[in-house]
Each structure stands twice: as structure tokens, then as C-alpha cells.
């Protein structure tokens, strides 16, 4: 699972790993409205608050959290079904969700779990990346900046940390981590 503030580049990293067929990208549920160009079922499962609650009540979510005033959650089916057939899964989740997954009791998930925190190189760069996205309103950017700084304090809870440089360097490090973890003897038993 990969966490990091908006603008850290974590979603791009996760998506690319999936595009290269190295892993399955877990498509989350969210109550947030789709941004321009986002597709239901591809970027997220966009749900009403009521439908999101039904998923919680049915026990269909592995974890869920409120982030930036919206609800986000990981479908158990997105993770468990893939792990069962030997496919790695990447999850792009916030620090609260990551905590819930760490304490989950499913043996298969516990064995497969790697947690990585992606940090932007500096506050200035983060601010410029959040501005540059161009899809969100001013107050949304300000809220994300505040949340980002708060979220960044959680990196010591993770086993791995990647300080973002360029897209290519970041991806090389990310993929190297995945490949190295697959060689870990405890995963082979």
C-alpha cells in the first residue's frame, strides 16, 4: 500500500505499476464527485453516501476513512481475489486507511503487505504541484495543502519512504522495491 499527500505522485506510481502488469490497482470507492476526465469503475467507484454506507454495513470494505471531507474505502474483493490467484495488489490509500490495513487479521493480506510513504521533495514543490493540477478550486487546494502537511508527519509509521524526485527516478525506486520484496524468503514459504 502506498500513502503520501496529494501531489506526491503516488497515484501515478501505482497506476504505472498496474499498466506494466506488475500488479493489480485496487479501485477504491469514494463519495467524492468525479473530476474532469475521471471514469467510474476505472479511477474510482463513485458512490452516493448511502451506497457507501451500504458497503460498510455489508462488510465489503477492507478499510475506509474520511479524507478531505469525502469518504474513501477499499473493497475487500479488489484485494483478496487478486492475492488468491498470486497477483500483487497496489492500494493508494491515506494514512488512516493504512493503519486499518496494518491491523487487519487476514493472513494473506498480512503476508503480502508492504507499506510505502511517498514524500514530495519540499513544501514549495508540493504547493506548485497542487496548483499545477488545475482541476481544483482555490479553497480545495488550500485544504489539501493543510492536509498534506499534516499527513506528511506520519511517514515514520511506514516501513519504506520515497522522497520524490523525477517521475522516472521515482518509478525506478518503486518498482525496485516491489521486485526486491518478491525475493523475500518469508513471502515464498
Which residues contact ligand 5GP (rule: CB under 6 A)?
6, 28, 32, 63, 65, 67-68, 72-74, 92-94, 96-97
Task: Give CA–CA dist 20/14, Å, rounded.
Answer: 10
Residue 133 CB, shortest distance to ligand 5GP, in Å, is: 9
Residue 187 CB, shortest distance to ligand 5GP, in Å, is: 24
97 vs 120, which CB is nearer to ligand 5GP? 97
Task: Give CA–CA dist 186/59, Å, rounded.
Answer: 29
In contact, 101 and 62? CB cutoff 8 Å: yes
98 vs 165, which CB is nearer to ligand 5GP? 98
143 vs 177, which CB is nearer to ligand 5GP? 143
Residue 189 CB, shortest distance to ligand 5GP, in Å, is: 29
15 vs 32, which CB is nearer to ligand 5GP? 32
Residue 186 CB, shortest distance to ligand 5GP, in Å, is: 26
Q: Which residue number places its CB atom closest to ligand 5GP?
A: 97
Residue 124 CB, shortest distance to ligand 5GP, in Å, is: 20
Sign of CA dihedral 9, 143, 43, 92: positive
| Count of residues in the chain | 189
HSE-up of 138 (CA within 13 Å, CB side)?
0
Instruction: Write the DSSP symbol of residue 81.
Output: H
133 vs 184, which CB is nearer to ligand 5GP? 133
Q: What is the dihedral of CA 188, 88, 75, 158, to 10 degrees?
A: 80
Q: Distances from the Cα of 135 to the Cαs of 36, 37, 122, 145, 160, in angstroms?
A: 7, 10, 22, 15, 30
Amino acid at each position: 500500500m502506498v500513502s503520501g499527500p496529494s501531489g506526491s505522485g503516488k497515484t501515478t506510481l501505482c497506476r504505472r505499476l498496474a499498466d506494466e502488469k506488475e500488479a493489480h490497482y485496487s479501485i477504491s470507492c469514494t463519495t467524492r464527485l468525479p473530476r474532469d476526465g475521471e471514469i467510474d469503475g476505472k479511477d474510482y467507484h463513485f458512490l452516493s453516501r448511502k451506497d457507501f454506507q451500504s458497503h460498510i454495513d455489508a462488510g465489503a470494505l477492507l478499510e475506509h476513512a474520511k479524507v478531505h471531507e469525502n469518504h474513501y474505502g477499499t473493497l475487500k474483493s479488489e484485494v483478496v481475489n487478486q492475492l488468491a490467484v498470486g497477483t500483487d495488489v497496489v492500494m493508494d490509500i491515506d494514512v488512516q486507511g493504512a493503519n486499518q490495513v496494518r491491523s487487519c487479521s487476514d493472513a494473506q493480506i498480512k503476508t503480502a503487505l508492504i507499506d510505502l510513504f511517498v514524500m514530495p521533495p519540499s513544501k514549495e514543490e508540493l504547493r506548485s504541484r497542487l496548483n499545477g493540477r488545475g482541476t481544483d478550486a482555490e479553497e480545495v487546494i488550500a485544504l489539501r495543502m493543510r492536509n498534506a502537511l499534516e499527513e506528511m508527519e506520519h511517514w515514520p509509521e511506514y516501513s519504506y519512504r520515497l522522497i520524490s524526485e523525477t517521475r522516472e527516478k521515482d518509478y525506478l525506486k518503486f518498482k525496485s522495491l516491489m521486485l526486491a520484496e518478491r525475493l523475500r524468503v518469508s513471502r515464498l514459504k
